[in-house]
Amino acid sequence: MKGAAVHSQTQTGGHEAHPQLGFVRTYVFSTDHKVIGIQYMITSMLFLLSGFFMMLMMRWQLAWPGQPIPIIGQFLPETMAPGGVMLPEFYNQLGAMHGTIMVFLGIVPLGVAAFGNFVLPLQIGAKDMAFPFLNMLSYWIFLVGGILMLSSFAMPGGAAQSGWTSYAPLADLAPPGQTMWLIAMTFIITSSLFGAINFIVTTLNLRARGMTWLRLPFFVWCQFVTAILLVLAFPVLQGGAILQLLDRVAKANFFIPANLIFGGAPVEQPGGGNPLLWQHLFWFLAHPEVYVLLLPEFGIVAEILANGTRKPLFGYFELVVSVCAIGALSFIVWAHHMFLSGMRTDVTKFFTVTTMIISIPSVMVLTCFLLSLRGGSIHFTTPMLFALAFIPMFGIGGLTGLPLGFTPTDIYLHDTLYVIGHFHYVVVTGSLIALFGGLYYWFPKMFGRTMNEFWGKVHFWLTVTAMNGIFFPMMWQGMAGVLRRQYDPTAQIHNHPTLPLNKVMTISAICLALAQIPFVLNFFISIFKGKKTSANPWNATTLDWAACPSPPPHGNFAGELAIHRGPYEYSVPGHKTDWSPQHVPEKELS
Amino acid sequence: MNAPEQLYGWWVPVKASTYAAQLDTQLDIFHWAMLLIFVLWGIYFVYCLAHYRARPGVPAVRGQLSVAKSMVPDGIILVFEMFMIFVIGLPVWAQVMETFPEEKKANVVHVIAQQFAWNFHYPGPDGEFGRRDIHLVSSGNPIGLDDSDPASKDDIVSINTMPAPLGKPTLAYLTSMDVIHGFNVPAFRTKQDVTPGMRVRIWFEPILRGKFEIACAQLCGLAHYRMLGNVEVMTQEEFDAWIQKKLADKAEL
C-alpha cells in the first residue's frame, strides 16, 4: 500500500459538545451504538463459547458412549450425568440448547447486532442509530432472554429437549424446560425486532449527504436486507411460540391432534390441532433465518476482500441484486425442510424449484468474490485469511445443499448427519470464519489498538483445520446413513462401519477448543496492551475507517460529511494513494 | 441371510429395494457435479492467490471482466439444476413417492409408531384390517385392536419385526400414536415422517432377502436412538408360513 494518508478537515473527527456521562451510562446502560455493538459482541461470544462446550460434551458421548465425561463430568448433577456418564435426556437437552444458543444467541447477534450496530452507522456517516434508546433496550431484552434460556437447565426435568426446531407434539408434551424455551425465545425475538427496525430506519434516514443507494458499502446492503428479513420472518415464529405456549399452559391444542397416547395413557385433550402447522410456522422463520446467519457475513467478507485486494469489488451491482434476490426468495423456500413431513408431494415440487433457484444468487455472490481476486494485489493479513477461507468453505456448504434441496436425493439424506455437516459448513466454516475475520478487521476501530498478527494467523490455521476435521467426516457418516440426534450411535447396526470417524470428529472438536485459546488471549490482551493504531490502519475507503478516529468518539464524525464516490475506490489511476475515501473531494486526491 | 458387514459400509448401504439404485444414481450425479464445480473453482482460486499476491511495485489492476461473462458459470449451474429437476428428478420422485402399487397386488401393512417401538398390523387372510381404538390399548394389545370387530379376528400384530415378501411391493400406511417418528430403512432408501393425526402412504419392493434395519429418523424423545426394528425380507412361501404360524399362536391364546 503506497502513499501517505489523505487528510481533510472532516477526517480528524473532533468532539462535539456532549454532556459528560458517568461510567454506568457510558459503558453499561449506554445508548451509543458502538458501546452496544461491543456489548453484543462480548455477550454473543460468551454464548458461542457456552454452546460450544455443550457440543464438546455431546461429542464426547458420541465418540466414547457410556464413558464418564472427563473433567466436566464430575461437576454435573445426578439428573444430568450420574457418575459423569451422560443420560439420554441430558444429551437431548444439550442438543436442543446447542442449536438454539448457537443460532439465536451466538451467530445472529454477533453478525447482526454486534457488527451491524458498530459498523453500519459509521459506514453510512450517521452519528448514531435512529433510535438509540430502543437500541439499548434491544440489548437488555436480549440479555434477559439469553439468561432465561441458559437457566432453563435448572427447570424440573431440565432444559428444552425437543431439538432447536421444537417440533410439536413432542415439544408440546415435553417437561417444563420447554415453557422456559418459549418464553426466552419471545424475549430474543422481541430484541431482534427492535434491532431490525432500528437498522432499517437508520439506513433509510441517516445516510450522509451524497451517500446514494449505490454508494452504500456492500456490508450496509447486507445488513439492510437482513433487517427486512428479521422484521418479516421473526413475528411468525413469535406467533408460533405463543401458540405453543398456549398449548402447554392453557391446553389450547393448536398443534395437538386428537387420539394421542402419551406415557401409556390417552392424552385427555380434544385435539384437533395439526403438528405440520408448527413446522410451517417454524420454518417460515427459520429459512429466512439461515440467510440472516449468512448475509451479514457476506458483507464482512466483501469489505475485507476489497480492502485486502486493493481493488474494487467485482460486480458491486450484481452483488446488491443477488442479495436482494436472496432476501426475496428466502420467503418461498421454507418447506424444503419438510419434503418428508407428509406434506402433499406435489407441493414439494414448487419448493424444490425455488430452492434450486435461490442457489443461483448465492453462486453469483461467490463468483463475484472469486473474480474480485482477479487483478488484485492480495495482502495476506489475518482478516484477509479468514475472508479468503470463507470462499471455498462456504462453497462446500453451498454445494452440499444441492442434494438436500432436491427431493429424490433428500429422501435418503434427510435427517442424516449429511444435513448437519452441510449446515455447519455454511454456518461455522462460512459465517463464523467470516465473523472472526470481521473481528480482526474492525478490532483496531473498536479499541484503537491492533491484535497480534502472528497469533491471529496461528488461530486461523488451527481453527480452519479443526473445523474441517469435525464437519467433513460428518457428511461422510451421513452418506453411510448415520442419523442425527442419536444419543448412542452404537445402538444402530448401520452406524457401525463409520463409528471410528466419531473419534476423529471429537478430537478435532477438542483441538478447535484449544485453538481458541490464542484468540481469547490475543483479544483481551490486545484491548489493553495491543499496538496503538491510527484512524485508518488498513488504508480503507469506507467512512468507518477513513472519516473518524479509532475508536470513534461519541457522535462519530466532526461536522457534516459529503460523499463523493462509491465505496471501494481502490487503486484509482491518477490518485495520490491507492485508496480514495468516499468523503474526500476529487481535488484533494489527484 | 446377509451379515451386517455385507449390508453396511463406508458409503451408502447395499441397494436392497427396487428404487435404491435409481436414487443412488442421482446422489452420484450430484456428487460428481459438486466435485467438478469445486475443483474448477478451487483451481481458479489457488491460481488467483498465487498470481495476484501482493508484490512490491506491482499495483492492483482495476480492469473489469464484463458482468455478463461472469454470469456464465451461474447460468451453467442453473441449467444443470433445472435439468436435474425436470429431466432426472421429478420422474423418480413421481415413481417413488406418488405412484403406489395396487392394494390387491401388494403386501399391505399398517405401521403404527409409538415411543419407542414400531408396531406392524397385518390384515391376515381376509385382507381386511380390524378396527383400532386407543382406549383399548394395553400391554397385551399395543395398538388397541378391537376384538369385537369380525375383521380383526385374523389380524396379526408384530412388534419391531416387519416381515415382507421378496419380489412383491409392500404398501405401508404410517400413523403415530404419540409424537412424530421417522420410518427409515437405509438399505431401501425409504424414509418418511410419521406424524400423529395423519396417515401417510409409502411403498417399497425388496430385492434382497435378509434383515434390514429400521431406525427412527425424527427425534421422538429420550430413547429415540433405540427405537429400532427390522424389515425381514423372506420368500412368499416363508411369508405365508409366518402368517399361518402367527394365526396358530393367536388361536392358542
Question: In this complex, do A310 and B182 lie within 8 Å of one another by their Cβ atoms?
Answer: no
Q: Find how far residue B40's CA is from the centre of its chain.
A: 33
Judged against a pLDDT cut of 90, whether residue B32 lies above it is answered with: yes
| Overall average pLDDT of the A420-433 stretch | 97
**What's the pLDDT band for B246 if we cut at 50, 70, 90?**
very high
For residue A276, the chain B residues in CB contact (below 8 A) are 195, 198
Question: In this complex, do A368 and B70 lie within 8 Å of one another by their Cβ atoms?
Answer: yes
Left, alpha or beta for A130 (phi > 0: left; psi -120 to 50: alpha)?
alpha
**Which domain-ending residue is among B68, B98, B128?**
B98
Assess whether B233 and B153 both reside in one domain.
Answer: yes
Distances (CA, A) of A544 to A504, A536, A583, B161: 42, 9, 11, 66
Mind telling me how many Å the CA of B47 is from chain A's nearest CA? 9
Q: What is the pLDDT of residues B107-116, one digit of tens each?
A: 999 999 999 9
Q: What is the pLDDT of residues A306-341, one digit of tens each?
A: 999 999 999 999 999 999 999 999 999 999 999 999
**What's the pLDDT band for B69 if we cut at 50, 70, 90?**
confident
Please report the pLDDT score of residue A358 as a whole number.
95
Please report the pLDDT score of residue A1 as a whole number.
37
Average confidence score pLDDT of chain A? 93
- Inter-chain contacts counted by CB atoms under 8 A, chains A and B: 284
Q: Is residue B6 in a domain?
A: no
Average confidence score pLDDT of chain B? 94
Assess whether B52 and B146 both reside in one domain.
Answer: no
Assess whether B73 and B186 both reside in one domain.
Answer: no
The amino acid that residue A345 corresponds to is: T
Q: Is residue B2 in a domain?
A: no
Please report the pLDDT score of residue A18 as a whole number.
56
| Overall average pLDDT of the A188-215 stretch | 96
Q: What is the pLDDT of residues B78-101, one digit of tens each?
A: 999 999 999 999 999 999 999 999
| Overall average pLDDT of the B21-32 stretch | 95
Residue of A nearest to B201 (CA): A342
Mind telling me how many Å the CA of A567 is from chain B's nearest CA? 14
Assess whether B187 and B221 both reside in one domain.
Answer: yes
Please report the pLDDT score of residue A243 as a whole number.
96
- Degrees (nearest 5) of the Cα angle A91, A94, A98? 145
Residue of A nearest to B132 (CA): A259
Domain boundaries, chain A: 36-257+271-589
How many domains is chain B partitioned into structurally?
2
3-state secondary structure of A484: coil
Q: What is the pLDDT of residues B163-183, one digit of tens each?
A: 999 999 999 999 999 999 999
For residue B59, the chain A residues in CB contact (below 8 A) are 2, 310, 377, 571, 578
The domain that holds B112 is classified in CATH as 2.60.40.420
Please report the pLDDT score of residue A19 as a whole number.
61
| Overall average pLDDT of the A22-51 stretch | 93
Domain range for B65 is 20-98
List all residues of chain B from 29 to 68 with a beta carbon under 8 Å from chain A. Answer: 30-31, 33-34, 37-38, 41-42, 44-45, 48-49, 52-55, 58-65, 67
ipTM of the complex as predicted: 0.96
| Overall average pLDDT of the A67-93 stretch | 93
- A3 shares contact with chain B (CB less than 8 Å): no
- A352 shares contact with chain B (CB less than 8 Å): yes
- B150 shares contact with chain A (CB less than 8 Å): no
Please report the pLDDT score of residue B3 as a whole number.
80
Q: What is the pLDDT of residues A288-310, one digit of tens each?
A: 999 999 999 999 999 999 999 99
For residue A499, the chain B residues in CB contact (below 8 A) are none
Q: Report the percentage of chain A scoring pLDDT > 70.
A: 97
- A66 shares contact with chain B (CB less than 8 Å): no
> What is the phi/psi pair of residue A372, to 5°?
-65, -25
Assess whether B67 and B143 both reside in one domain.
Answer: no
Judged against a pLDDT cut of 80, whether residue A83 lies above it is answered with: yes
Please report the pLDDT score of residue B143 as a whole number.
93
Assess whether B217 and B140 both reside in one domain.
Answer: yes
Judged against a pLDDT cut of 90, whether residue A270 lies above it is answered with: no
**Beta-bridge mates of residue B213:** B230
List all residues of chain A from 553 to 572 with a beta carbon under 8 Å from chain B. Answer: 570-572
Please report the pLDDT score of residue A6 as a whole number.
40
Residue of B nearest to A490 (CA): B225
Look up residue A45 and give its three cell numbers. Answer: 461470544
Kindly give, in sequence order, each residue whose CB lies less than 8 Å from that of residue A100, ignoring residues fewer than 6 positions away.
A149, A160, A164, A181, A185
**Which domain-ending residue is among B98, B126, B151?**
B98
Assess whether B131 and B200 both reside in one domain.
Answer: yes
| Overall average pLDDT of the A131-155 stretch | 96
CATH architecture, domain A36-257+271-589: Up-down Bundle (1.20)
Query: In what side-by-side order are the strands of the sheet with B210-215?
Result: B161-165, B228-234, B210-215
Assess whether B36 and B131 both reside in one domain.
Answer: no
Q: What is the pLDDT of residues A207-234, one digit of tens each?
A: 999 999 999 999 999 999 999 999 999 9
| Overall average pLDDT of the A429-435 stretch | 97
The two counts, helices (H) then strands (E), for chain B are 6, 10
Please report the pLDDT score of residue A110 as a whole number.
97
Judged against a pLDDT cut of 80, whether residue A3 lies above it is answered with: no
Q: Is residue B40 in a domain?
A: yes
**Which domain-ending residue is among B54, B75, B98?**
B98
Element (DSSP H or E) covering residue A367: helix A345-373
Q: Find how far residue A450's CA is from the centre of its chain.
A: 24
Q: Mutate which of B71, B191, B200 to test chain A, going by most A C-beta atoms within 10 A? A: B191
Q: What is the pLDDT of residues A380-401, one digit of tens each?
A: 999 999 999 999 999 999 999 9
- B91 shares contact with chain A (CB less than 8 Å): no
Question: In this complex, do A271 and B81 lie within 8 Å of one another by their Cβ atoms?
Answer: no
Please report the pLDDT score of residue A14 as a whole number.
42
Q: Mutate which of B220, B222, B226 to test chain A, going by most A C-beta atoms within 10 A? A: B222
Assess whether B175 and B83 both reside in one domain.
Answer: no
Question: In this complex, do A258 and B197 lie within 8 Å of one another by their Cβ atoms?
Answer: yes
Q: Is residue B85 in a domain?
A: yes
Question: In this complex, do A309 and B26 lie within 8 Å of one another by their Cβ atoms?
Answer: no
Please report the pLDDT score of residue B1 as a whole number.
56
Assess whether B141 and B244 both reside in one domain.
Answer: yes
Residue with cell 461467490: A366
Q: Is residue B66 in a domain?
A: yes
3-state secondary structure of B211: strand
N-term to C-term CA, chain B: 31
| Overall average pLDDT of the A360-364 stretch | 95
> What is the phi/psi pair of residue A588, to 5°?
-80, -10
Q: Mutate which of A413, A415, A486 to test chain B, going by most B C-beta atoms within 10 A? A: A415
Look up residue A100 and give its three cell numbers. Answer: 438454539
Q: What is the pLDDT of residues A484-530, one digit of tens each?
A: 999 999 999 999 999 999 999 999 999 999 999 999 999 999 999 99
Q: Is residue B8 in a domain?
A: no
**What's the pLDDT band for A8 if we cut at 50, 70, 90?**
very low
Judged against a pLDDT cut of 70, whether residue A357 lies above it is answered with: yes
For residue B97, the chain A residues in CB contact (below 8 A) are 345, 407, 411
Cα gap A319→A300, rounded to integer Å: 13
Assess whether B178 and B243 both reside in one domain.
Answer: yes
Q: What is the pLDDT of residues A441-489, one digit of tens each?
A: 999 999 999 999 999 999 999 999 999 999 999 999 999 999 999 999 9
Assess whether B193 and B152 both reside in one domain.
Answer: yes
Nearest Cβ partner for A377 among B58, B65, B225? B58
